Amino acid sequence: MGQDTISNSSIIDDSTQYSYLMINSGFSYNKLEHSVNITEKIPSIFNKIDYYHKSGIYLGGSFSNYFSDSLQSFEYEVLAGFQKYYDNGFDFDISYAWHDFNGNTKLEGINYTHSFDIYSGYEFKNNYLSSDFNLLIGENNVNYFLDIDISRFISFDNVLLKNSVLMINPTLSFAFGTDYWVYSDLTIENQTQLQNFLSNRGYSYNNFCFQGINIMLPISYGINNLYFTFSGIYRIPSRKFKFIGMESGFGTMISLTYFYNFKGTNKWEF
């Protein structure tokens, strides 16, 4: 689902009746999600725009800029997908994205061109259970990942101002995936050394495995169709990934999101 910081379903109550445009811009200061060589936090700016049709079809694009050294690094993607919400609390989302990266390859994480994503969720008593399967196809290998999340929806209406809402969504995420990306930038000699090192310590490699736990706390404050979000995330890599160099750490993200609803009710009221 990309870098979305707030849940569309919790904001656009009538998203199945009207089309809308979502514009999102933000700043993050996190450790890279799929990188072993870089353990420090990397500041980045991201921008995203998506058009959601009331039929469930959506189109969008994103651009991210990373700041670490004199070499400018950025990535962008265009995507298309379909989402559907049901009255019983179930929803699903399928999408395809074309992706490109330019700059310092150490910041790239996983080298891929095509991404396929299947997302499903179920809301019950202000709790939300979801799974996200992501397939990344690159020039040299194919990686796939599965995140299983449990979230809690907490909201307060008319906080400070009329037509405002405060949303707090603590989330616990369990990350699984292939580890082919770990060895993709290594020479054959270094791959063999690392894999032998893992094997001697009792760890498997070149397989699908548990990769870690993410603890997330997004806090959003919205007025009419404009939302400000602060998100904190604490990543805990699995024992295997700690062994090869990943570290636990806390990161942050702030973003501003505007929804333009084509039903014609975008007036500002306080």
The 10s digit of each residue's pLDDT in 90-108 is 999 999 999 999 887 777 7
Smallest CA-to-CA distance from 171 within 82, 232, 259, 118 is with: 232
pLDDT at position 266 is 59
Residue 109: per-residue pLDDT: 77
Per-residue pLDDT at 92: 95
Is residue 12 scored above 70 in pLDDT?
no
Average pLDDT over residues 115-130: 96
- pTM score: 0.86
**pLDDT(1) > 60:** no
Beta bridge partners of 146: 133, 176
pLDDT for 268 beyond 60:
no
Residue 75 identity? E
In terms of DSSP bridges, do strands 90-102 and 114-124 run parallel, antiparallel, or are they unpaired? antiparallel
Q: Count of CB atoms within 10 A of residue 139's CB?
A: 8
Mean pLDDT on 150-166:
92
The pLDDT assigned to 8 comes to 46
Average pLDDT, the chain: 87
Distances (CA, A) of 262 to 13, 14, 54, 86, 95: 14, 11, 10, 21, 23
Show the domains of the chain with their CATH numbers. Answer: 16-31+42-261 (2.40.160.40)
Alpha-carbon torsion angle 47, 52, 56, 62, nearest 10: -20
pLDDT of residue 17 exceeding 80:
no
